[in-house]
Amino acid sequence: MPVDRMTSNVLNILKYPDKRLREVAKPIEEDDYFGLSLIFAAMKNTLRIKGGVGLAATQVGIPLRLIVVAIENQPVHCLANPVITEYSEDTCTFTEGCLSVPYASYDKVRPRRVKVEHYDWILRETHTIMADGLLARVIQHEIDHLDGKLFIDELSPLKINMLQRAGKKREKRGH
Ligand code: ZN
């Protein structure tokens, strides 16, 4: 475990086009359990401070299959080795953004519901989540990070640049 990163409560978030965001994360194994609660605590705190709804370990330079999803008024999910085993056929559109791609947001289509299996590192067993709506969306977005994918990958570099510039202007205007 990269313990030196744990000394700070707020982790540094890698920004597009950092190549480390393209790394495919490795599954958690038995030997890794020891450090998990520390990593998850730091990831949760980072999310709270940065104001996001989801964070993948890849985004903080830890190439392990860990994600945290923290949606307002819902329980926080800390998932190790999450795998989507089923996607709904129906889709929905939502304006998506990412802490690793500052200012960029756009309407993205994704499956509305997913079935997710993950390893519960406290009980040491596999659990299943049936997710829909925002939870399903954030889980898909974060698992993409673990595979080295970003939500903007379907867009051209020119379009990404335009979105970031427009988002920056919007923020300057205060909304
Ligand atoms: Zn993201």
Domains in the chain, ordered, with CATH? 3-172 (3.90.45.10)
Q: Find the 141 Cα to ligand 1 centroid distance in Å.
A: 6
Q: Considering the chain, what is the average pLDDT of its residues?
A: 93
Q: Find the 94 Cα to ligand 1 centroid distance in Å.
A: 14
Q: Which two tokens stand for residue 156?
A: 């051209």
Q: Find the 36 Cα to ligand 1 centroid distance in Å.
A: 20
Residues β-bridged to residue 130: 115
So what's the pLDDT on residue 130? 97
CB-based contacts of 123: which residues, under 8 Å, 6+ apart? Answer: none
Question: What is the per-residue pLDDT across 114-146, written as a single tens digit (0 to 9) for each?
Answer: 999 998 877 889 999 999 999 999 999 999 999
The residue from 117, 125, 142, 154 that is catalytic is 142
Q: Find the 89 Cα to ligand 1 centroid distance in Å.
A: 23
Backbone angles phi, psi at 117, to 5 degrees: -105, 140
Q: What's the 3-state SS for the chain?
A: CCHHHHHCCCCCCCCCCCHHHHCCCECCCHHHHHHHHHHHHHHHHHHHHHCCCEEEHHHHCCCECEEEECCCCCCCEEEEEEEEEEECCCEEEEEEECCCCCCCEEEEEEECEEEEEEEECCCCEEEEEEEEHHHHHHHHHHHHHHCCCCCCCCCCHHHHHHHHHHHHHHHHHCC
Q: Find the 73 Cα to ligand 1 centroid distance in Å.
A: 20
The model's pTM: 0.92
The question of whether 142 is a catalytic residue gets the answer yes
Question: What is the per-residue pLDDT across 1-22, written as a single tens digit (0 to 9) for each?
Answer: 454 444 458 999 999 999 999 9
Spatial contact of 122 and 50, defined as CB atoms under 8 Å apart? no
